[in-house]
Amino acid sequence: MSLPRSTPSAQGVDAAGIHAFVDVAERDRLGLHSLMVVRHGHVVAEGWWKPYAASRVHLAYSLSKTVTATAVAFLVQEGRLSLDDRVLDHFPELDRSAVADDWDDVRVRHCLSMTVGHEEDAWPHVFDRMSGSDFAESVDPADWVPRVFATTPTRTPGTVFAYNQVATYLLSVIVRRVAGEGVADALRPRLLAPLGLPDIPWHRDPLGRELGFTGAHLTTEAIASVAQLYLDRGRWEGRQLLPEAWVDEATRAFGPVNEDPGADEDWRRGYGYSFWMQRYGYRGDGAYGQFLIVLPEHDTVVAITAEQSRMQSTLDGLWEHVVPAIGSGGPGGSGTADGELAERLAGLEIPAMSGDALGPDYAEFSRADASDLAADYTAVSVTRDGPDHVLGLNRRGEWLRVPVGRGWWREGELVAGGATLPVVASGGWVDEDTFRGEVIAIESPHRFRIEARLRSSDADLTWRMVPLTGYDPLWLATRWAPA
């Protein structure tokens, strides 16, 4: 563990406020998977909704942008990269006749601040998944960088904000070119080792480069530790890892604000270098509720992982319950409240599915029309395995087997198409006709359910929330066999 532990009251925090936030998160179904609160550099509250756990990494989605920006910061500090570098200068091999107008004036700082000059996200014009489902055959193997430069910035760089995946993707490629290694390797000696953090698995492009804007998989403590580094203005255990000037510049609004009329309040306060400004302090965040929150005025950071679609609701809960619980330096709360919170956090869980009916030894089902898992999954089987079961998923004619705990989360893997995806699953026969189960891609926010019916011989396969990677769960994998 990289951060010391303490009690809330010893660090001037009323544990009852954090307790209230957890209660609200569960009442309002905010889908939290983990929570860590750090005050004065000490973890004062931490909890994981089982089967999520402290040791597991979690797909951070766009919180990855903050990680990539930090890699850029190290290279700027070392004099190997400048915020004023023209982005095109890092791609001398490009055919300039194929580069759209206005890229000449785009600088590294414009990529960091999402002010490239595009008025909308250009990524849909770059990414291309073809009709197949296996990694080796379903993504265009060509370099995506020329596609990025074929998209035209329609406004002068620095004059318009648009949340734009291609900006951070270019930064990831530039880091690799400047450092001679990818973001993950570049951060190992500069960030991960000093903070005592594990390596970061990533989703990558067809050429093996980290996507940069998404795909980083982080433990909750890694999120909190990076937040603490920024809270302490780049200093860690007496050593200045990042320049204070970088932290100050990166964590204040740069250029125009987000003018999207549909944006929530804490997405309309400006954007720094991969940090959002907010009602209190600033943050990095990712889809479905991944948060790295820094509250300088309270000497506090918060790390959250989740699967939910109402991210503003999570922030509202923090502002209503956690922020008022943080004292101004004196003692806060009580030992009794500390104990009650610790007990509450220790008991967090996503309830496992079960069933009291015996069910047949073996049953097989065709895919129902209501399913939204990838169409390659055409059939389901359920096999009794002692008191538990084994779920079969037929993908393109190949049976993938997942052990299923009856009333508990059983670990397994989905293995196909060169990918290996860790999962946990639970389920059982709820009556003589119906089997229900749930499979969690445990290194991600996502899970899908199975409801299989003997009478109709079919089964629904439905995502709770469809991953941004697509409808096939294997696309969430970071482990791929060499082609």
Over the stretch 364-377, which tens digit does the pLDDT of each residue have? 999 999 999 999 99
Kindly report the average pLDDT of the chain as a whole number: 94
Q: Which tokens belong to 220?
A: 């909750």
User: Average pLDDT of 413-432?
Assistant: 96
Specify whether the CB–CB gap between 69 and 225 falls below 8 A. Answer: no
CA nearest to 116, candidates 163, 64, 174, 173 = 163
Q: How far is CA 436 from the centre of its chain?
A: 28
Inform me whether the pLDDT recorded for 136 exceeds 50. Answer: no
Residue whose token pair is 């998209």: 151
Average pLDDT estimate for 51-74: 98
Q: What are phi and psi of 210, to 5 degrees?
A: -55, 140
According to CATH, the topology of domain 9-346 is Beta-lactamase (3.40.710)
305 within 8 A of 58, measured Cβ to Cβ: yes
**DSSP-based three-state secondary structure for 235:** strand
Return the percent helix, strand and coil in the chain, to nearest 5: 30, 25, 45
Distances (CA, A) of 86 to 155, 163, 181: 17, 20, 20
Q: Residue type at 420?
A: T
61: Cα separation from own chain's centroid: 3
Percent of the chain with pLDDT over 90: 89
Helix (H, G, I), strand (E, B) or coil at 232: coil
Q: Considering only CA atoms, which of 195, 189, 214, 192 is closest in space to residue 204?
A: 214
Residue 306 vs residue 1, higher pLDDT: 306
Chain centroid to CA 132: 25
Find how far residue 262's CA is from the centre of its chain: 22
- Number of Cβ within a 10 Å radius of residue 26: 14
Please return the burial class of 332, using the count of CB atoms within 10 Å of its CB with bins 0-12, 13-18 and 19+: buried
| pTM metric for this prediction | 0.95
| Distances 88 to 173, 178, 256, 270, 314 between C-alpha atoms, Å | 12, 13, 23, 26, 39
The tally of CA atoms less than 13 A away on the side-chain side of residue 126 is 22
What is the C-alpha radius of gyration for the chain, rounded to an integer number of angstroms? 23
Give the whole-angstrom CA distance, residue 296 versus residue 280.
8
Residues 6+ apart with CB under 8 A from 470: 129, 374
The two beta strands, 458-463 and 362-367, are parallel
A 10 A CB-CB count for 343 gives 10
**How many C-alpha atoms does 454 have within 13 Å on its Cβ side?**
13
What interhelical angle do 15-27 and 335-346 show, nearest 10?
Answer: 30
- What is the DSSP-derived secondary structure letter of residue 51? T
Q: What is the pLDDT of residues 144-191, one digit of tens each?
A: 999 999 999 999 999 999 999 999 999 999 999 999 999 999 999 999
Give residue 130's pLDDT band: very low, low, confident or very high (50, 70, 90). very low
Output the pLDDT for position 256: 86
pLDDT tens digits for range 182-240: 999 999 999 999 999 999 999 999 899 999 999 999 999 999 999 999 999 999 999 99
SS3 of residue 169 by DSSP? helix
Nearest partner of 483 among 11, 40, 136, judged by Cα = 136
What is the spatial distance between Cα 272 and Cα 283, in angstroms, rounded to a whole number?
10
pLDDT at 128 over 70: no
**Burial (CB count within 10 angstroms: exposed 0-12, middle 13-18, buried 19+), residue 63:** buried
Would the pLDDT of 132 be above 50? Answer: no
pLDDT number for residue 334: 84
Q: What is the amino acid identity at position 404?
A: V
Measuring CA to CA, how many Å separate 141 from each of 137, 314, 417?
8, 39, 16
Average pLDDT on 281-300 reads: 98
Contact 139, 90 (CB under 8 A): no
34: amino acid identity, one letter: S
Is residue 211 a contact partner of residue 64, using CB atoms and an 8 Å limit?
Answer: yes
* Spatial distance between the Cα atoms of 209 and 55, rounded to a whole number of angstroms: 25
Residue 96 has pLDDT above 70, yes or no: yes
Residue 266 and residue 262: Cα distance in Å, rounded?
A: 12
CA distance 178 to 245: 22
pLDDT grade for 127, boundaries at 50, 70 and 90: confident
Domain boundaries defined on the chain: 9-346, 362-480
Q: Pairing between strand 282-286 and 276-277?
A: antiparallel
Q: Which two three-digit tokens encode residue 376?
A: 């390659």
- pLDDT tops 60 at residue 131: no
Please, what is the end-to-end C-alpha distance for the chain in angstroms? 36
